[in-house]
Amino acid sequence: MTLFHFLPLYICLLTTALADTIRTSDPIAIVDITVKPCSSCLPQTSTAIALTVYNAEDLRKSVLEWRRKRSKQQQEKLGEHENSESEISIKAVDDQWLVIFDGYYSQEHRHKVILTALSGQHVEIVARDNPAAVFESDFDVLLWPYDERKKLESLLDEHEDIKEVKQQKQISRKLQYIKSQDTYLPSEARVHRAGQRKPQSVSSSDYWFGSEKLRSRKLMRSVVKPVTDELQADILWDLGFTGAGIKVAIFDTGLPKNHPHFRNVKDRTNWTNEKSLDDGLGHGTFVAGIIASSAECMGFAPDADVHVYRVFTNQQVSYTSWFLDAFNYAILSQDVLNLSIGGPDFMDTPFVDKVWEMSANGIIMISAIGNDGPLYGTLNNPADQMDVIGVGGTDFAHNIAKFSSRGMTTWELPAGYGRVKPDIVTYGSSVRGSGIYSGCRTLSGTSVASPVVAGVVTLLYSTVPEEKRHFVNPASMKQALMHGAKRIDGTNMFEQGAGRVDLIQSWKILKSYKPQATLSPPYIDFMDCPYMWPYCSQSLFHTGMPTIANVTILNAISVSSKIVGIPIWRPYDQETGHFVDISVSHSSVIWPWTGYIALTIMINEKGAEFEGIISGHLEFFVHSKNDDNNEDIEENVVISEMKLPLRISVIPTPKRWQRVLWDQFHNLRYPPGYFPRDNLKMKNDPLDWNGDHIHTNFRDLYERLRAAGYFIDVLGESFNCFDASNYGTLMIVDSEEEFFAEEIEKIAKDVEGGLNLIVFGDWFNTEVMKKVRFFDENTRQWWIPDTGGANVPALNELLEPFEIGLGDIVSDGEFEFSERKMNFASGTSLVQFPDQGKVLVRNLRDQGADILRNEKDETFKPKENTVAIFGVHEYKLGKVAVYGDSNCIDGAHMQKECYWLVEELLQYFRTELFAEELVSDLVEWSAVKEQFESFSTLPERFVGNQLHRFSKVLVPGLSMKNKPIPECRELTFLTPQYLNDSKSTLSWKNRPLLSIDWEEENLEIQSYKPLPLSHPETFSSATVFIVFSACGAALLFLLAQMRSRKNERSQKPLKFSKSRSNKNLST
């Protein structure tokens, strides 16, 4: 018996394995078994079997791709490509005010209410000439002097029909086009270049398709496919789904008339003060093409009803009121709305409220998450809202694009913790779309990724039968996208959300979808790294600050619902479950379609020495209205049982010197106030809006300290709410808030008792603050900073017990410290310090003088000052270190990092030893203080600043009086209700959408850690046919071979004698 005789069995087993592979991945395949001559086979055989498996779908797509490429080579025109960068700014308009009503009223009624409320006052109501003017509205725009704003608010707030009065906002986007020097860049270079873009960039790719160029290349390079091919849109097109009947609104820069790529433009409207419907920039045309182009560079939904809303002028300017009018018009009819713009102002309440209203009326909102990556805490509004599908960008290799903004949301700071965003990611780098008049162009940015998802949503919407479309809403569509997404390995949830879009998997989910409530993220697991960063980066321990997990609730059953009863914490193990305390807060109402549930997790005294894993789940119930019926009737309420699996890593309490406390309470950011960027060179990004959290723009510092073995807690309350005996070091970085008198007293006592203090300051100069105010020529609008880079006068009050003071010289420049290159970027300097304290003195440029100089003065020369920029001092049992600039540890616009300095200080606090090269750069203050006596006066606060409007410390008004210090939060913990299920290893894993009928639909959603969702262990009829056909063919082949062998054996003597006979004859 030879190996050959086992060949049929091998073929049968191989075919079965192939069929099983086919069964778990593709519905249809072609198996080709060929018997052919073989010259290199074993001596026993003269034939070979070639077994080829073709995926029918891939085969069909290959043919389509060949046809498409051939068509492109004949029709595509080569054009010059440009790189475009954009800057988005949002400014208040001084003399224009939005009067927001509590409902929709006719123009006559609204004007009557305003004139009645302002009886006897001269007032001008701005006329709005746009398509929405003939309909009822919920707002008006007034002209009123900014200096009399309080009078206006007091008069209007008294009327029962008026909800609020808000300032008009101007939104500006500036695009600068830069001719590209390259005709092609590999994907790695494209990502690197995109990562260097300025905030809110919409960047053009350097790659373009051209038949002549492709033929002339010598090196094999990957060609980027059309984005519709990458997401397999042609599968749905072949089934007859093309977006027909779905109305999609595009809020952008307009669309040219009779553009050859669009066959179903239903409406073009202009909401600007320009008398034009056309697109003068090309951005709106490109976005519309990604969604609905029907020629050349195909869009996802070529037959969708396209409604174009021109909300930006050719100068890239818009106003909140323009958006409000356009939203009011769109709310009447649209299904899907794409908004490829965004900004950091999540407190523009008229805009935010209107987006909520759009979602509440069933319109699926898709928005770009922002192009401010790779920095964390850079999410843009409205994409950061729970009801909006926030979209991040990837390249075609499925890497998160460098430009794509990262989470977390910063709405909840300082007391809470941010939500997971983006919701989803997709292709946003080097995507091809429609040119402004014809042809195709290539752009990059999340404003490209957003219409990719909008196109996907529109196409998916059209696959839902008419009788089931009432199930489609913002929550159900987001659920389909997120549960169908494929997770990207090696990235965390604040980079990718649920993962990258998978059009076909989401379509399969929608085929049998039933409304339900789900959670995002669907579980909290301290062992799931890196996806669950930062939870997986630091275990919990006793006496640590509370860890907060903010989970979003998506409820597609009803636009309005609520959590009923008290949530239940169910640990799986009675031996360890009582070590953890969990407190819960949640939305009072889940609206529109979304809400939150926040878990505050702590380890109690019983778990002080425990090391291990505590598992369980949080259980709660959501009550939803069934349609629009009365929810007081029991049968009209749908009850959803929700479970949030938890797996918590616990360690024994670390040593005191290992523990660092980060002060979040005293960090303020835009919005609501104008808090300027710490680096004054960053003129194009003047606002400090990243949250100043250890997990946002200081994330790299966090990672560095964790790698060095330190544990970092975040303090979201005042200083009276932490026990200093638990911590080795308190870090106060770039603080803008004032300090309570009680806090100042407590910190002095804590340092005296052994707590170490690190302070990173930033620039402060009242004259410079006046100079860096915003001024807009058209609107006569001024914004003056509420503080400098840091609130130096407040810091001086905190540091006064230690005899330390910071001045108002703004310094900038390069220097060396401890044999390292350093950069001082708009920092402050020490002007008072204890005589025995050690300081670092350097010569730096006087940046403040540069800013304040007369620009017409041609004789001005840059000035240098000798300044003390770093100091360290022992105070009783503790130590205090102060550095005048936070730029070197802040990921936003960092010039040169100085994480090493923080590590050196923490090592010094523990061992009282500095590195020799560092010590050699320091001098005693007593030796140099005389040269600083001329500017030793401490700076005073800016007179007339508006900090009191946003402060948690100051009483509203200009008196600079403090509020009473707030009480520390008292948490109410849930009583554990044990569930003896500690042996279950899957109890914490992700769950599929509960309503999907897997057996009927034969679906499989791929999930990457947690484990893949199960699929039915059954064979389809096609699979059975393939297996039996292959086995039958193999058996027939075996019989043929056996018969051939028999004939060969019977003929062997004849062959030998004939051969021998021939030999004799020749002889």
Query: pLDDT digit string (tens) for 808-847?
Result: 999 999 999 999 999 999 999 999 999 999 999 999 999 9
Buried b or exposed e, range 95-118, using 16+ CB within 10 angstroms: bbbbbbbeeebebeebeebbeebb
d(CA 292, CA 278): 17
Greater confidence (467 vs 957) lies with: 467
pLDDT for residue 999 = 33
Question: Same domain, yes or no, for 466 and 387?
Answer: yes
**Of 511, 540, 565, which residue constitutes the final position of a domain?**
511
Structure tokens at 534: 């930062």
> Are 903 and 1032 members of one domain?
no
The answer as to whether 90 is a domain residue is: no
pLDDT at residue 290 in the model:
98
Provide the token pair at 778.
């058209």
Cα separation, 973 vs 122, whole angstroms = 57
Q: What's the whole-model pTM score?
A: 0.79
Residue with the larger pLDDT of the pair 396 and 210: 396
Q: Does 252 participate in catalysis according to the annotation?
A: yes
Query: Whole-angstrom Cα distance, residue 677 to residue 620?
Result: 43
pLDDT at position 972 = 96
- Residue-by-residue DSSP string for 241-259: -S-TT-EEEEEES---TT-
pLDDT score, position 265: 97
How far is the CA of 658 from the CAs of 562, 606, 710, 907, 910, in angstroms?
42, 21, 5, 10, 9
Tokens describing residue 274: 């320009």
| Structure tokens, 421 | 């965003």
Q: Name which of 144-148, 672-676, 993-997 the model is least confident about.
A: 993-997
**CATH number of the domain that 765 lies in?**
3.40.50
Ranges 428-442, 487-501, 535-549, 936-950: which has the least confidence = 936-950
Query: What's the confidence (pLDDT) of residue 630?
Result: 56
Least confident span in 21-30, 265-274, 350-359, 417-426: 21-30
993 occurs within a structural domain: no
- What one-letter code names the amino acid at 991? R
Which CATH number does the domain housing residue 622 bear?
A: 2.60.40.10
- Could you tell me if 302 and 242 lie in one domain? yes
pLDDT for the residue numbered 785: 84
Mean pLDDT within 410-428: 95
Query: Is residue 1063 in a domain?
Result: no
Q: Is it the case that residue 694 has pLDDT exceeding 60? A: yes
- 1007: pLDDT strictly greater than 50: no
Q: Find the catalytic residue in 259, 261, 283, 623.
A: 283
**Is-contact 82 180, C-beta < 8 A?**
yes
Co-location of 861 and 717 in the same domain: yes
Clarify whether 447 is annotated catalytic: yes
Tally of structural domains, the chain: 4
Considering the domain architecture, whether residues 792 and 869 belong to the same structural domain is answered as yes
Query: What is the CATH classification number for the domain harbouring 400?
Result: 3.40.50.200
Strands 137-143 and 47-55: unpaired
pLDDT value for 634: 63
The reported pLDDT for the residue numbered 1031 is 61
Residue 434 among the catalytic residues: no
Q: What is residue 169's predicted lDDT score, i.e. its pLDDT?
A: 77
Q: Higher pLDDT residue, 996 or 427?
A: 427
Q: What is the mean pLDDT of the chain?
A: 82
> Which residue out of 447, 735, 826, 982 is catalytically annotated?
447
Residues 480 and 371 grouped into a single domain: yes
Residue 132: inside a domain, yes or no? no
- Checking if the pLDDT of 549 tops 50, the result is yes
Higher-confidence position of 1009 and 141: 141
| Structure tokens, 958 | 């200009």
> 595-609: string of b/e by CB count within 10 Å (b at 16+)?
bbbbbbbbbeeebee
- What secondary structure does DSSP assign to 206-223, as a single string? S----HHHHHH--S--PP
Between CA 201 and CA 207, with CA 204 as vertex, the angle to 5 degrees is 150
Residue span of the structural domain in which 291 resides: 224-511
The gap from C-alpha 253 to its chain's centroid, in whole angstroms, comes to 24
Query: Is residue 365 assigned to a domain?
Result: yes
Residue 376 near residue 408 (C-beta atoms within 8 A): yes
- Within a domain: residue 917? yes
Tokens of 1024: 């059975």
DSSP string, 624-687: EESTTS-TTSGGGEEEEEEEEEEEEEE-PPPPGGGEEEEE-TT---TTTS--B-SSTT-TTS-B
Residue range 290-326, pLDDT digits in tens: 999 999 999 999 999 999 999 999 988 888 899 999 9
Distances (CA, A) of 241 to 59, 454, 596, 650, 963: 21, 15, 35, 51, 61
pLDDT bucket at 22, cuts 50 / 70 / 90:
very low
Task: Give 90's Cβ-side CA count (13 Å radius).
Answer: 24
State pLDDT tens for residues 61-106. 554 454 445 444 433 433 333 344 445 556 677 688 889 999 999 9
Residues 606 and 467 in one domain: no
Q: What pLDDT shows up at residue 804?
A: 97
Same domain, 533 and 450: no
Show the tokens assigned to 994: 């509960």
What CA–CA distance (Å, rounded) separates 729 from 749? Answer: 14
Of residues 10 and 280, more confidence is placed in 280
Residues 334-355: what's their mean pLDDT? 90
pLDDT value of residue 1041: 63
Predicted confidence at residue 979, as pLDDT, reads 82
pLDDT for 636 equals 82
Task: Give the model's pLDDT for residue 81.
Answer: 38
- Judge if 789 and 830 occupy the same domain: yes
Q: Are residues 747 and 809 in the same domain?
A: yes
The predicted structure's pLDDT at residue 428: 96
With a cut of 50, say whether residue 1057 has pLDDT above it.
Answer: no
- Least Cα distance to 189 among 397, 376, 494 occurs for 397
Residue that finishes a domain, picked among 933, 949, 965: 949
* Phi and psi based region of residue 445 (left: phi greater than 0; alpha: psi -120 to 50; beta: remaining): left
Most confident of the following: 330-344, 610-624, 625-639:
610-624
Res. 536: pLDDT tops 70? yes
pLDDT band at 134 (very low <50, low <70, confident <90, very high): confident
Structure confidence at residue 967 as a pLDDT band (50, 70, 90) = very high
Instruction: Please state, as a whole number, how many other Cβ atoms lie within 10 Å of the Cβ of residue 266.
Output: 12
Does the residue 51 lie in any domain? yes
The reply to whether 498 and 533 lie within a common domain is no
Catalytic residue among 95, 140, 252, 581: 252
Same domain, 591 and 569: yes
499 within domain boundaries: yes
Last residue of a domain, one of 490, 511, 532: 511
Q: What is the pLDDT of residues 167-204, one digit of tens each?
A: 887 765 543 332 233 322 333 332 332 232 232 333 33
Q: Which residue has the higher pLDDT, 673 or 127?
A: 127
